[in-house]
Structure 1
Amino acid sequence: MDSVMRENELVALAGALASRGKRSILGITGAPGAGKSTLGERIVSELGPGRAVLVPMDGFHLANSVLLARGLRHVKGAIETFDDAGYASLLERLLAQKAGEVVYAPHFDRGLEEPIAGSIPVLPDIPLVVTEGNYLLAESGAWPRARACLTECWFLEIDRPLRHTRLIDRHVAFGKTREAATAWALGTDEANAALIEAMSHRADRVVRIHVD
């Protein structure tokens, strides 16, 4: 389903998932800079900590030391630089979470550019887990296991110039020079974007967020 929607409409749809009476996992995907984190954070903020928790895929970045050993540091963020099996296993645990069990998820520290283990506690009575990331719809490796855990998966579309501007500004904010940020956004990020956009047809909903 392709649609243009406002963020508050998407929050309402997420709220419906949180009201099913059982654990739901909402996946939000799209190219780098599409606004996945912003939407995920908005949903969790609006629904409140008793109804939703954000568990980003970025917590499963491989450590820089591993990327250097494998010769992949220059393409950090590419699909092969993530622990897809670890991510799939976490979603499977969250889907089958038992009463009284707390599951701890990692998050990615953009300042350190490293994943931090055990930093997001997920309580068993939270009805909605929101997870966002680039490769939720990929068909290689363990990614299909992750996709199978998602109650719904939304793909965010965005105009390319705006996406590039967001990416460059983000990279600058986290320490890159504007020249280096532009090179990364139009190089590594853009190569990843082409792969991710080719997966959009597998989403339950393709959304372009309306901006007033």
Structure 2
Amino acid sequence: MSAVVEVSVGRLVDAARELAADGRRRILGITGAPGAGKSTLAREIADALGERAALVGLDGFHLSNAELHRLGRHARKGAADTFDAAGYTNLLHRLRPQHDDIVYAAEFDRGLEESIACAVAVHRAVPLIITEGNYLLVDDDRWGGVAGLLDQSWYVEPGEGVRLERLVERHIRFGRSPEEAAERSYGSDQRNAGLIEGTRHRAGLVVRVTAAGTGPRPPAAP
């Protein structure tokens, strides 16, 4: 099992900046179980790098609510089979070579619980793509092509108690009752977490984000 590296956001920003330093297109994948803090970390890094980075999330490839109802899978929204895995993989293939002047990606709106098409513009000059999501390191027929497209992969692990507390709070923040939030977090979300935790050993780095100024510097970019 990979050891957890305790590291500050600032150190992770430095590592991401180094990854983008030579101007060539690189893809950094950030994964972890629901509530781990991967979306927050990805956004903080993207904001710190400004025009040097673009954030493209896997959540933009959620199947629509209408399609999930048609498939009978709405109650399991967020499970690995409720995303367009092929569409996400194809987007990464398109982003990697920097051939297009601009590539548009979808973005998930948690308020609407739907994806918004063409909400994220990725310009050719941007050297670093940051992508985050649950299933980046899953090794099966649907998701197995993603890991090979990542130059670096980081797995965020805050500790199980912290993760579940954050997850319940997030569900409440987006409109669920405390009872519904707990049921979702310890039910379907936890089943998803079991699959994701099984991918931890495939990550290049397992991180626990600490207060500013603490933790060692992550390994240098290849």
TM-score, length-normalised on structure 1?
0.96
Shift of 1:20: 2.9
In the aligned structure 2, how far is the partner of 1:97 from the partner of 1:145? 19
On the 8 A contact 1:57/1:133 being kept in 2, the answer is: yes
SS of alignment partner, residue 10 of structure 1 = helix
1:64-89: CA deviation from partner (whole Å, max 9, x where unpaired): 11111111101100001010000000
Q: How does 1:39-188 map to 2 (within 5 A)?
A: 39-48=41-50, 50-98=51-99, 101-188=101-188
Tell me whether 75-84 or 138-147 shows the greater mean CA deviation.
138-147
The residue identity in structure 1 corresponding to 2:11 is: E
Tell me whether 140-149 or 182-191 shows the greater mean CA deviation.
140-149
2:33 aligns with: 31
1:121-152: CA deviation from partner (whole Å, max 9, x where unpaired): 00000000100000000111332222211110
1:151-205: CA deviation from partner (whole Å, max 9, x where unpaired): 1010011111111111111111111111001100010111111110111000111
On the 8 A contact 1:59/1:107 being kept in 2, the answer is: yes
Identity among equivalent positions (%) equals 47
Q: 1:20 aligns with which of 14, 19, 22?
A: 22
1:196 aligns with: 196
1:82-102: CA deviation from partner (whole Å, max 9, x where unpaired): 10000000000000221x521
In the aligned structure 1, how far is the partner of 2:16 from the partner of 2:143? 22
In the aligned structure 2, how far is the partner of 1:202 from the partner of 1:106? 26
On the 8 A contact 1:88/1:142 being kept in 2, the answer is: no
In the aligned structure 1, how far is the partner of 2:198 from the partner of 2:134? 12
The residue identity in structure 1 corresponding to 2:42 is: G
Number of corresponding residues: 210
In the aligned structure 1, how far is the partner of 2:72 from the partner of 2:136? 24
The residue identity in structure 2 corresponding to 1:39 is: L
The residue identity in structure 1 corresponding to 2:73 is: L
The residue identity in structure 2 corresponding to 1:25 is: I
Unaligned runs of 5+ in 1: none
The residue identity in structure 2 corresponding to 1:160 is: E
In the aligned structure 2, how far is the partner of 1:162 from the partner of 1:207? 14
SS of alignment partner, residue 31 of structure 1 = coil
The residue identity in structure 1 corresponding to 2:194 is: A
Question: Which of structure 1's runs of 4+ aligned residues deviate more than 4 A?
Answer: none
